[in-house]
Every structure is written in C-alpha cells, then in structure tokens.
Amino acid sequence: MPKLYEVVSPARQMELAVQSRSPARLAQTFAAFVGQFYDRAAFDALARQASALYEMESPDRASAFRAHLDRRLCDRYHTPVAWEVAPASRDQAA
C-alpha cells in the first residue's frame, strides 16, 4: 500500500498540514527540521508557502505562524525567514 506522501502532491500535503495544525504547532515542526535543508532558500520558500495558506484563512493566523517560526529559529541559532523576497531583476537572471 502506498504511503500518503507518495500519492498526494507536495502542494496538497502543505494544504493539509495548514488545515490540520495550528500556526504555533506547524512553526514548531518547521523549526525542528530547519537543519535538514541543504538549501536555506528552499526552507524559506516552503515557510512562505505555509504562511500564504494561513493568510488565505486569516491574516492573524499567518502573522502568528511567522512570529512563532522566527522566534523558534532564533532559539535554535538560525536566522529568521526571509518573508519578503524582491523579484529578481532581468540583470540578475541573465
């Protein structure tokens, strides 16, 4: 029998996580796995995705997720998430 992560897309997995976990709990889980990401930019992108999903439910839930995650990352001696990302200019992309 296949595992859930094998049959559900990563985007849907994130939606389910946001629906089933409080912002504080999901932030705790994210912070626990920050060291597992080779590329910190990928971790930040995943955190921004979760924040955007919480934002669709409620701005307060998104704000709570961001605040809890940044606090937990600092507690673990990691930098906060880059929540605002400037779009790449054409010069940087080339």
**The predicted structure's pLDDT at residue 94:** 47
Q: Which residues of 1-32 are buried (b: 16+ CB within 10 A; e: fewer)?
A: eeeeeeeeeeeeebbeebeebebbebbeebbe
**Two tokens, residue 6:** 């094998």
For residue 77, what pLDDT is reported? 75
For tokens 């992560």, name the residue: 5
pTM of the model: 0.81
For residues 80-90, average pLDDT: 73
**Residues 52-72: what's their mean pLDDT?**
95
Residue 64 has pLDDT above 50, yes or no: yes
Q: Is the pLDDT of residue 72 over 80?
A: yes
Mean pLDDT of the chain: 87
Contact 49, 12 (CB under 8 A): no
Spatial contact of 83 and 51, defined as CB atoms under 8 Å apart: yes
Q: Please give the average per-residue pLDDT across 65-81, as a whole number.
A: 87
